[in-house]
Structure 1
Amino acid sequence: MLVKFKRFLIGRPMKSTELAAEKLTKRKALAVLSSDALSSVAYGTEQILMVLMAVGVAALWYSIPISFAVLLLLAILILSYRQIIYRYPSGGGAYLVSKENLGVPFGLLAGGSLLVDYILTVAVSASAGTDAITSAFPALHDDRVLIAVVMIGALTLLNLRGVTESASILAYPVYLFVGAIGLLIVCGLFQIVTGQAQATTPEYGTSVPGLTLFLLLKAFSSGCSALTGVEAVSNAIPSFKRPAEKNAATTLLMMGLILGSMFLGISVLAYCFGIVPNGRETVVSQLASSVFGRGTVYYAVQSVTALILFLAANTAFAAFPVLAFMLAKDRYLPNMFTVRGDRLGFSNGIIMLGCLSALLIVLFHGHTENLIPLYAIGVFIPFTLSQTGMMRMWLRSKPSGWLLPFLINTIGMLTTLTITLIFICTKFSQVWLVFLFLPLAIWVFLQIQRHYQSMAGELQIDLAHDKPYQKGTVIVIPVAGITRVVRNSISYATSLTDQVVAVYVGFDEEEIATMERRWAEWNPGVRLIILRSHYRSIVRPLIKFIDTVGWKAAETDHVTVLIPQFITKRWWHNILHNQTSFLIRTYLFARRDVTVTTVPYHLHQ
């Protein structure tokens, strides 16, 4: 029943040879890997306006030059990551660049930051999508956490079905969103040019008392949240069809052009229409209402905006498992992240991402503004490290024509470092957790690798000299009576060795006498040892007996404790059985001199 339900949810298992068919075309890759960056136009401008409103409506004209500064940074990042794509076509992005050029600690810092960023990407996208829904339907505002968690669960299931299938589904809403925002911008600009836009806007260049450089930098850093997700393409190069690096570079350029156009268009419209941010309605919702009115087109724009904000999380679902795989391959994360599931995706990474992001939604009560600063700084740290790593690489190798790309990476590094410092200075009260979590994450990565290295050293053998050693086997079978379960266990044990002994722990003399008489009458060909327990404990006398047997047989024999276990027909029947066997196994699993074996017995009732 469970297997059928699983097949219904995620589909049939796929052969390993079908992996090539799971590679992405440029059109599908743009939908999957750019949905996070493209969706950020729904809240990037709003983040700038929210900061500027601290000194009044007159400061809102600053959103235009700030938006141009954000676009300049976007251009630098696009150029820089195109270089990374061609120099590191195996993927890994900032993690691989930093590890190879700056050292393992910096690589782990970049990798840890990106893992955190992808978790926050899902949480922020789900929260922002919920905001779009509640802007159109205010009655749902109190259910925003439940809506976000349900959508994360749906995205998790969609990605468990495979990259190609999820990309085919996601392509439609992504391109619908691009079309809807494009229509909004074109119609809005038309109304502005023709004088139909009736709004009181602060005159461009108006002097604003109380406006400080600190506040402008804070607004700029907030607007840079629109650049999150730019790095995802460089992390997922192996997911592209051949030639992978060329297709990835083209996809990155297309994403940059679309993102820049939409972000600037929304900023210009917001200024010209005099949009003021508020906590109950998003900037895009106010713009759509101003341009189209509260009619069919407005609800269509809001619907695709909400959908793309939810589906923006899919960028993280595409990139997080790949990055976790690379860290696990280098032994910095558990091996389970290297395993492909039935649908050829890294299922454990997908499930882990879904669970952690849903937990964040619950902890932060679905408030996007509480998550965005953590979200942004989590990606600007890898931005800075990747640019620094590329600078080091150019200085080391100095190939022909290296100076121009070196200058591009230098400008990128200085710019992203500045943004990172601005975030830290202006939003320290919101991002201080990063400075606790990232060192802890690096320490965990190193501990995991240290464990794997020590385990590998312990398990390694000398092929020329380390041969299996021959020993006999003594099997101890705990029995509670004479039943078919005992018969099944003894039959299995005697097929392995002649040295089999059954052990019965009795509490009173009458029970013991009955057991001895019935055993003699049955005569299974196995000796029965009677242990008397004066304190009604089964485990303690049994362990003491096993210690005695183990001490006598240590040099010549393996000691195996064979424990029968009921396999019940219904899951809840497990509550009624196997408690004693569970206790015995729990005591014995830590013993190095004893092997514990379970013999199943399938119940029909």
Structure 2
Amino acid sequence: MTIDQIKRLLIGSPLRTRQLTHEKLPKWKALAIFSSDALSSVAYATEEILLVLSIIGISAYVYSIPIAISILVLLLVVTLSYRQIVHTFPSGGGAYVVAREHLNIPSSLMAGAALMIDYVLTVAVSISSGVAALISAFPVLIPWKVELAVFLVLTLMLLNLRGIRESATVFAYPTYLFIFSILVMIGVGGTQIWKEGWHGYEVQAANQIGDIVTWTGALLLLRAFSSGCSALTGVEAISNGVPSFRSPAPRNAAITMMWMSLLLGAMFFGITLLAYAFGIAPKEHETVVSQIAEHVFGRGPLYYLIQVATMLILFLAANTSFTGFPQLTSIIAQDRFLPRNLAMRGDRLVFSNGIVLLSVLSILLIISFNGDTHGLIPLYAVGVFLSFTIAQWGLVKRFLNEKSKRLFRIAVTGLGTVITGLVTLITLVSKFSEGAWMVAFAIPLLVWMFYLIRNHYDEIGKELRVDLHSLPKKVKTKVIIPISGISKVVAQSIAYAKGISDDVVVVTVDFDDEHAAQMREKWEKWNPNVPLIILRSPYRTLISPLLKYIDTLEKEKEEDEFITVLVPQFIVKKWWHALLHNQTALLLKAVLIYRKDVVVSTIPFHLHH
């Protein structure tokens, strides 16, 4: 089986460019593919709040409720702001495009870097959390958590390489299974609370206040709030992927964003409420959602259904990044701040290079952190809220520059800018020592890399720019044909060389005088009209004498003259036949390709046996 056949088996047959319109998504599929990241965050956001509050003590768990409410208010503000971004920038790109159009290039690059880091972290966190949900139900898998996570990333990569529409269909059903199962769990749990009353932590308000009214307590509350803000990661994904929606794309994207926010808010608050009402506390190898499900349903079929659904949604949540990251990098690449090959669609009409790049970076991150979700979370929210802040500030500037100013839109977006800016600072400060410093360092490093790439493309553009009013000059070329003996491939090479130049010379490297004399004699009988240069090699090397000879010719040639090295090469019928022949041609091309005014060309000779 050839490499192309394996590729077709894994990702399917190529799609024509005109089929791109058929790859657009209806709202119900778009909700699954773009919202899985945001919706899946309910599986760990509450747990992250409780983990921080546990440092203060059990009495502090009561603050999980007001923290959750404040996060819901933040979700409302961000949703209203990003709905406007969807309508205002239907071409996608989210914060990067908003900042590019209405702020400045450095701001847009900062937003782009923050989003790229967030997308990589989304894959790592979602997959690691999905594995955590799996091993909560099946502890025997604990030793294999990193291997499982890497396998899931590779599986997701293959699904996305097959195309948007196919992956959306696969992802839709587990997403709706998760939504249904969590809502049922919240409904049944709420009914139990209604009938039986709250049976969680019974604490006195005085104790709670006494534990919190300290600088340390206040900082821990802010840290718990910033940890819970991980529930908002992924909210921006729809604004980045508006072009993937069916027409009218902006309207459909805005409606989908409202669905997502309502579901996210309901599930996040419901889980937080149940966790406090049932007295749930974080455990090392069992998630909070697992404990709530066990409390509500026991370790029966419904419990395992919720665990499997949670694992699947966390697995699929990474798909938001597999949609957003390639789309974003393609836009940045079109602006020449990233390699151009990231801007090209593959034969399945997806940005294949971006998908592969995201997979590699995510796997490296998972391995580096040993698949530990709690170790990755501190890195998570900084980039998200930085991009939120930049996007909303750009939108405020746009609204202020409009002739017909709409005060409500300016007020909502301005409030969102202030709030998300404060959350960015809170997250950075409260989690700096836990790993947020890495993101703070990585964002400017990426921006610096963007400028290096852009400067390279600008310099290349200047050097390659041609004067359209002048015609190219005719140049001369001397053709050198390296050979090892007289054969049909040599005859073919000489015939081709004479077609492009009158100055053709054949060069061979020999190790002893006797063999060199025999070669000279045969050549004089066979083709005396073409000069044969025999280079001696006392140390039995082939490449070095050829390079020295070419160096000599380079010094002697005229200014506008080229040297063409025409390398004969066997093309074998079977791959393993290549192992039976010297690869001198490949090595010679690799060495000469960087020489100025030296053209390296291959003359292929296809073997039939």
Give the structure 2 partner of residue 53 of structure 1.
54
CA–CA distance in structure 1, aligned partners of residues 114 and 581 of structure 2: 47
Cα contact 2:478–2:504 (8 A) shared by 1: yes
Q: Which residue does the alignment assign to 1:461? A: 466
Q: How far off its partner does 1:398 sit?
A: 4.6
Q: Is the 8 A contact 1:57 1:202 kept in 2?
A: no
SS at 1:279's partner residue? Answer: coil
What displacement does 1:404 show?
1.4
Q: Which residue in 2 is equivalent to 1:420? A: 424
Structure 1 portions without partners, runs of 5+: none
After TM superposition, give the deviation of residue 544 of structure 1 in Å. Answer: 2.8
Cα 1:462–1:304 shift into 2, 3 Å:
same
**Over aligned residues, Cα RMSD in angstroms?**
1.7
Q: Deviations over 1:293-319 (max 9, x none)?
A: 001111011101100000000000110
Pick closer, same or farther for the CA change 1:345–1:242 going to 2, 3 Å.
Answer: same
Deviation at residue 494 of structure 1 after TM alignment: 2.8
Q: Look up the match of 1:308.
A: 313
- Give, in angstroms, the shift of residue 281 of structure 1: 0.3
Partners of 1:140 and 1:206 lie apart in 2 by: 44
Q: Tell me the secondary structure at the aligned position of residue 380 of structure 2.
A: helix
CA distance in 2, matches of 1:570, 1:364: 43
1:2-50 Cα shifts (integer Å, max 9, x gaps): 2222111111111001111111111111110000000000011111111
Cα distance change on mapping 1:556 and 1:66 into 2, 3 Å: closer
1:202 is the counterpart of 2:182: no
Residues 1:548 and 1:350: Cα distance change in structure 2 (over 3 Å): same
Alignment partner, residue 150 of structure 2: 149
Tell me which moved more, 553-562 or 501-510.
Answer: 553-562
Which residue identity lines up with residue 156 of structure 1 in the other structure? M
Equivalent residue, structure 2, for 1:249: 254
Partner of 2:13: 12
Q: Is the 8 A contact 2:60 2:211 kept in 1?
A: no
- Deviation, 1:400, is 3.6
Query: More displaced, 289-298 or 521-530?
Result: 521-530
Change (3 A) 1:524 1:6: farther
Q: Secondary structure at the match of 1:537?
A: coil
Q: Provide the rounded CA distance (Å) in 2 between the counterparts of 1:140 and 1:421.
A: 38
Determine if the alignment matches structure 1 residue 362 to structure 2 residue 363: no
Are 2:225 and 1:220 aligned?
yes
Are 1:476 and 2:480 counterparts? yes
Task: Kindly provide the CA deviation profile for residues 70-99 of structure 1, in whole angstroms up to 9, marking residues without a partner as x.
Answer: 000000000010111111111111111112
Distance (whole Å) between structure 2 residues aligned to residue 599 and residue 435 of structure 1: 53
Residues 551-570 of structure 1: pairs in structure 2 closer than 5 A:
551-555=555-559, 557-570=561-574
How far residue 452 of structure 1 moved from its aligned partner, in angstroms, is: 0.9
Alignment of 1:395-406 (within 5 A): 395-401=400-406, 403-406=407-410
**Which residue in 1 is equivalent to 2:532?**
528
Indicate whether 1:549 and 2:550 are aligned: no
Cα pair 1:328 1:338 within 8 Å, conserved? yes
Instruction: Find the aligned partners of 1:97 and 1:206 in 2 and give their Cα distance.
Output: 48
CA–CA distance in 2 between the matches of 1:161 and 1:436? 35
The 3-state SS of whatever aligns with 1:343 is coil
Counterpart Cα distance in 2 of 1:574 and 1:258: 59
Identify the range of structure 1 (505-514 vs 551-560) with the bigger mean alpha-carbon deviation: 551-560
User: What SS class does the counterpart of residue 520 from structure 1 fall into?
Assistant: helix
Distance of 2:393 and 2:151 partners within structure 1: 40
Give aligned pairs, total: 602
Segments of 5+ residues of structure 2 without an aligned counterpart are: none
CA distance in structure 1 between the aligned counterparts of 2:411 and 2:198, rounded to whole angstroms: 46
413-422 or 181-190, which moves further after superposition?
413-422
How do residues 328-407 of structure 1 correspond to structure 2 at under 5 angstroms?
328-401=333-406, 403-407=407-411
Are the structure 2 counterparts of residues 367 and 570 from structure 1 closer, same or farther at C-alpha, using a change threshold of 3 Å? Answer: farther
Deviation, 1:460, is 1.4
Tell me the alpha carbon deviations over residues 381-406 of structure 1, each in whole angstroms, 9 at most, x when there is no partner. 101111221222222225242x2111
The 1-side partners of 2:72 and 2:456 are apart by 45
Distance (whole Å) between structure 1 residues aligned to residue 448 and residue 44 of structure 2: 34
Cα displacement string for residues 558-599 of structure 1 (whole angstroms, at most 9, x for unaligned residues): 320011223334445445544432332233212112111112
Are the counterparts in 1 of residues 124 and 362 from structure 2 also a CA contact under 8 Å? yes
Q: Identify the residue that residue 518 of structure 1 maps to in structure 2.
A: 522
Single out whichever of 511-520 and 185-194 deviates more from structure 2.
511-520
The superposition leaves residues 171-210 of structure 1 with CA deviations (integer Å, 9 ceiling, x where unpaired) of 1010110000010000000111111x78442348463243
8 A Cα contact 2:399 2:405, kept in partner? no
> Quick one: which amino acid aligns to residue 207 of structure 2?
S
Separation in 2, partners of 1:236, 1:524: 68
Contact kept? 1:151, 1:310, Cα under 8 Å: yes
Match of 2:323 among 318, 331, 335: 318
Cα separation, 1, equivalents of 2:284 and 2:608: 61
Normalized against structure 2, the TM-score is what?
0.96
Given the two structures, how large is their TM-score scaled by the length of structure 1? 0.96
Instruction: Tell me the residue number matched to 1:186.
Output: 187
Distance in 2 (alpha carbons) for counterparts of 1:387 and 1:541: 64
> Which runs of structure 2 are paired with 1:564-579 in the superposition (5 Å)?
564-579=568-583
Q: CA deviation at 1:56?
A: 1.5
Matched AA of 2:569: Q
Structure 1 Cα separation of the partners of residues 426 and 559 of structure 2: 68
**Sequence identity of aligned pairs in percent?**
50
Cα offset, 1:270, TM superposition? 0.6
Output the CA distance in 2 between the equivalents of 1:555 and 1:379: 56
Confirm or deny: 8 A CA contact 1:127 1:148 kept in the other structure.
Answer: yes
Measure the CA separation in 1 of the matches of 2:374 and 2:560: 68
Aligned letter for 1:139? V
Q: Which residue of 1 aligns with 2:42?
A: 41
Give the structure 1 partner of residue 277 of structure 2: 272
Secondary structure of 1:78's match? Answer: helix
Is contact 1:61-1:204 (8 Å) kept? no
Q: Which moved more, 1:325-334 or 1:525-534?
A: 525-534
Measured after TM superposition, the shift of residue 531 of structure 1 is 1.8
How far apart, CA to CA, are the structure 1 residues paired with 2:279 and 2:61?
A: 8
SS in 1 for 2:54: helix
Q: Is the 8 A contact 2:561 2:597 kept in 1?
A: no
Structure 2 counterpart SS, 1:49: helix
Determine the C-alpha separation between the residues in 1 that align with 2:364 and 2:585.
Answer: 36
Cα 1:7/1:392, change in 2 over 3 Å: same
| Residue equivalent to 2:593 | 589
Tell me how far apart the structure 2 counterparts of residues 520 and 202 of structure 1 sit (CA, whole Å).
105
Taking the aligned partners of 1:205 and 1:14, their CA distance within structure 2 comes to 64
Give the distance between the partners of 1:162 and 1:566, measured in 2 at CA: 38
Q: Is the contact made by 1:334 and 1:448 (CA closer than 8 Å) also made in structure 2?
A: yes
Mean Cα displacement is larger for which, 48-57 or 493-502?
493-502
